[in-house]
Amino acid sequence: MTRKTVAVLPDSDRAYDIIIESGLLAAAGNILSSALTAKRFCIVTDAHVAALPHMLTLIKSMETAGLSVTAPIVLPAGEGTKDFHHLQYIIDNALERGLDRHAAFIALGGGVIGDITGFAAAVLMRGIPFVQIPTTLLAQVDSAVGGKTGINTPRGKNLVGAFYQPRAVLIDTDVLRTLPGREMKAGYAEVLKYALINKPAFFDWLEEKAGALLTGDAVAQAEAIAVSCAAKAEIVADDEREEKDIRALLNLGHTFAHALEKLGGFDGRLLHGEAVGIGLYWAAAFSARQGLCDAAEVAKIKAHLDAAGMMTKPPFDVAAAAVLDAMRGDKKNRAGKMTFILMKGIGRAFVARDADEAAVLSFLKTMTGE
């Protein structure tokens, strides 16, 4: 497979490359020795990834390239790990291993590992370099790209964090062979998101290729990852720190998704990507309810989700009022007013502020069957 490279923030001092290739883990050492001045690295991963061959392949590659690798920091798998306790665990263990400003973290894992490792890198000694090596489709196309790092609190998702760009993102498509089907579908929601934001032609391509992508077609996977990363890189370049209504578009579906995750208690019944898939459908349906989007477009989106075997409602009961209350804590809101990313159609997303709560509650009652 031909190597694909996507440049992020190319005209800034925070520029880095996303490199996509089959078998890339075995070449990671040479890439990192060229991309960073650091010669000492600490891998942060989770218990699930630590049991797979990926880490040993990475360590061997780095040692062959003459790079020093400390004992890895291994965290429990799951969304519950993204908290203050485990952030402190990473920092304490990094200091115990003697990391200094000339060392670097490597986040080897999914979105949880990437988010918390990036935040640890941002605050340790006021900032040390880090590299993203995502091992899930969701992380490869979304969370590993763009520099958003952070942790959750009992009050909501990603409410504590920092904008802190990695020095490189290495995407080895071979790691997807070990990814469970459920995780692939969760990641696919983030791929679909880019099509619904502003790439209608990509939606048409996905309608043809989604099945192959989800069942292991490496060429389709690499193409979808590259298109998704390029789409995110373009938006990040225009609005790196979400100061305009551009980067907020990447939150399409997430206002509903984060609320559902919170109500599920981050207990594994609803993965982030699964929640995003539901949120994409709900955002489209609410847009149609508001007269913004043709109902036929909503039906097309739902049919696509159904064909991919994805959720359009949570696997547990939720009350409309509880969902609304959870959405009030969304960090996109301003001065107590709700912000949604809605659609005028496939590939025509926009930021809508000052949503009418009564209309939202009425819609939620429909979606929750009340």
Query: Do 237 and 359 lie in a common domain?
Result: yes
Rounded CA separation 42/74 (Å):
11
Q: Residue 312: give its domain's CATH number.
A: 1.20.1090.10
Query: Do 19 and 88 lie in a common domain?
Result: yes
Q: Residue 22: give its domain's CATH number.
A: 3.40.50.1970
Query: Do 120 and 173 lie in a common domain?
Result: yes
Segment 58-110, tens digit of pLDDT: 999 999 999 999 999 999 999 999 999 999 999 999 999 999 999 999 999 99
Rounded CA separation 108/141 (Å):
15
Over range 22-46, report the average pLDDT.
Answer: 96
Angle at which helices 254-263 and 320-327 pack, to 10 degrees? 110
Query: Do 225 and 112 lie in a common domain?
Result: no
Over range 30-39, report the average pLDDT.
Answer: 95
Cβ atoms within 10 Å, residue 63: 12
Rounded CA separation 339/94 (Å):
38
| Pairing between β-strand 40-46 and β-strand 73-75 as defined by DSSP bridges | parallel
Cβ atoms within 10 Å, residue 324: 18
Query: Do 21 and 163 lie in a common domain?
Result: yes
Query: Do 254 and 110 lie in a common domain?
Result: no
Distance of CA 239 to the CA centre of its chain: 17
Rounded CA separation 214/220 (Å):
9
The residue with tokens 């400390």 is 70
Cβ atoms within 10 Å, residue 154: 9
Query: Do 105 and 239 lie in a common domain?
Result: no
Rounded CA separation 131/253 (Å):
27
Query: Do 198 and 107 lie in a common domain?
Result: no
**Tally of domains within the chain:** 2
Segment 223-259, tens digit of pLDDT: 999 999 999 999 999 999 988 889 999 999 999 999 9
Asked if the model's pLDDT at residue 319 lies above 90, the reply is yes
Q: Does the global pTM surpass 0.85?
A: yes
Segment 347-358, tens digit of pLDDT: 999 999 878 899
Which residues constitute the domain of residue 191? 181-368
Query: Do 17 and 121 lie in a common domain?
Result: yes
Would you please indicate which residues are annotated as catalytic (active-site) residues? 126, 148, 190, 232, 242, 247, 251, 254, 258, 272
Query: Do 245 and 299 lie in a common domain?
Result: yes
Query: Do 125 and 207 lie in a common domain?
Result: no
Query: Do 159 and 237 lie in a common domain?
Result: no
